[in-house]
Amino acid sequence: MSEEMDFNLEQDYIPTPIVPGGSYKGAITKMSFSEEAQMLAITATLNNNGGVCSDGTTEIDGSTATLRVWFPKEGDRDTPTGSGRQTKWQWKINQIKKVADNLGFNLNTRQDMYSLVDSQSAIGLEVDVKLSVEPPDEYNDEAYNDVKSMKAAQ
């Protein structure tokens, strides 16, 4: 093994830089849909914001933020959300509607979503992204950024 490939965790580990919570300008740079997860991922690259991440050196501009939009799965019509106020199906439909309205996308049907992803016509759309910093949880072992909203820039 080459010396270049050797490492020392105590010296080399650096936590992932976190963008401070707040509102940022960006542009959509990627859209994909996971059939397995039934999730639309809309990624924006932040730009024209200035500032640095939590490490004090990594620039905010160039960082990416991904909005995850969950689509209904089998059984969601009969499964209540954690609050018990609606079904998972209804919660997901409501979230899709909010994203469609915020971004000006036609997501009226699953086929409309597939067409949007296939065409990649949203790439380059200027957006306003609201980020939060979330503490470690059952899915993430360190603090992370979460996209609270993504709206077409005015």
In this predicted structure, the answer to whether residue 1 has a pLDDT above a threshold of 90 is no
Q: List the domain boundaries for the chain.
A: 16-152
In the predicted model, what is the mean pLDDT of residues 67-72?
Answer: 98
Q: How far is the CA of 29 from the CAs of 66, 72, 80, 125, 134, in angstroms?
A: 10, 25, 34, 8, 23
pLDDT score for 3 = 80
pTM for this model (two decimals): 0.91
Percent of the chain with pLDDT over 90: 91
Q: Is the pLDDT of residue 136 over 80?
A: yes
- Residue 83 is predicted with a pLDDT of 95
Model pLDDT, residue 140: 87
Q: Quick one: tokens of 92?
A: 């997901």
Q: Considering the chain, what is the average pLDDT of its residues?
A: 96
- Residue spans of beta strands (DSSP E) within the chain: 22-34, 39-46, 64-70, 126-134, 144-152
Residue for token pair 């620039």 = 59
Alpha-carbon distance of 61 to 53, in angstroms, equals 9
pLDDT at residue number 2: 80
Buried b (16+ CB within 10 A) or exposed e, 12-36: eeeeebbbeeeebebbbeebebeee
**Rounded CA separation 26/128 (Å):** 6
How confident is the model at residue 110, as a pLDDT?
97
pLDDT of residue 4: 84
Q: How far apart are CA 13 and CA 147, in angstroms?
A: 26
pLDDT per position as a tens digit, 23-65: 999 999 999 999 999 999 999 999 999 999 999 999 999 999 9
Handedness of CA 84, 90, 96, 100 (dihedral sign): negative
Three-state SS at 112: helix
For range 101-112, the mean pLDDT: 98
Tokens standing for residue 106: 């036609």
Two tokens at 132? 């939060």
